[in-house]
Amino acid sequence: MRFEHVLVVGAGQMGGGIAQVVATSGRRVSLHDAVPGATDRAFATMRTSLVRLAEKGGADPDEALGRVSAVDDLVAADLMIEAVVEDAKEKEDLFRRADETLPPAAVLASNTSSIPITSLAAVTSRPDRVVGMHFFNPVPVLKLVEVVRAVQTSDETAAAIVELAKDLGKVPAEARDFPGFVSNRILMPFLNEAAYALLEGVAEPEAIDTIATLGFAHPMGPLALADLIGLDTCVAIMEVLHEGLGDPKYAPCPLLRQYVAAGRLGRKSGRGFYEYG
């Protein structure tokens, strides 16, 4: 399976990045989003990123972007990678529709951070061809792809996605389908604890983040990282961890919920723990 034509669904911060790296690898990409204007914003972000990467010897921006087309609906392709909102019902509906639209041999992959791949596979007629392909933000920069095997995923499908990740210049790491997989099971409690430290007045946001960057040699602090991921996405992931693992330690900090209710979603809305120009 070489996946010459890839359908990327969801043109937010992750979907745009995924479309960019797939197109840079020489493949044709169809990019779909349910919200009008989202693909235009994704094209603008992809161009900025590609121009920056071209200055360091990366691919020609026009050539890469020439391989990406915006599409109004799902289309037939060899592979779908979905990066829509982190909501189980939305994703299950999408997998049902994709199962009807893409040819039976196509693979359906999800970039979900936490929603069980096994449940997404179960709503399709090809559960052996459903898999998690979890990229990291920003996609054009970060090397890791967590390849998540549902209970039903075949060895052939998992191996094809591992090969694709390598061909995109990424480093795959395989995980089984368990709430939050490996990455978010470790990351989310860290971000949540930082939110609690802020809520309880232990320190100001800048001090919390400085302690992580200088003390633990992290490239960014937990509050800045939560803003980058999106506080809505963080809360959605924590809900899945909380429900799936049944341990109250995974419940989202009330401050996170409050910020989300106020529309303070992080960088994508201009304000989260910090303000963005």
- Active-site residue set: 113, 134, 146, 184
What is the torsional sign of CA 119, 123, 126, 131?
negative
Q: Smallest distance, Å, CB 185 to ligand NAD?
A: 14
The stretch among 32-40, 159-167, 192-200, 255-263 that binds ligand NAD (CB under 6 A) is 32-40
Nearest 5°: phi and psi at 109?
-115, 150
Q: Please give the Cα distance from 89 to 275 (Å, whole number).
A: 31
Coil, strand or helix at 28: strand
Question: How many residues touch ligand NAD (CB under 6 A)?
Answer: 29
Q: Smallest distance, Å, CB 14 to ligand NAD?
A: 3
Instruction: State yes or no: residue 121 binds ligand NAD (CB under 6 A).
Output: no
Q: Burial, 155: exposed, middle or buried (Cβ in 10 Å; 0-12, 13-18, 19+)? A: exposed
Instruction: State yes or no: residue 233 binds ligand NAD (CB under 6 A).
Output: yes
Nearest residue (CB) to ligand NAD, 49 versus 111: 111
Q: Smallest distance, Å, CB 136 to ligand NAD?
A: 6
* Spatial contact of 95 and 56, defined as CB atoms under 8 Å apart: no
Nearest residue (CB) to ligand NAD, 42 versus 107: 42
Instruction: State yes or no: residue 38 binds ligand NAD (CB under 6 A).
Output: yes
The stretch among 85-93, 164-172, 196-204, 215-223 that binds ligand NAD (CB under 6 A) is 85-93
Closest by Cα among 93, 157, 99 to 126:
99
Peptide bond just before 138 cis, omega within 30 deg: yes
Residues of this chain that interact with ligand NAD (CB under 6 A) are: 9-15, 32-35, 38, 83-86, 90, 94, 111-113, 134-137, 229-230, 233, 268
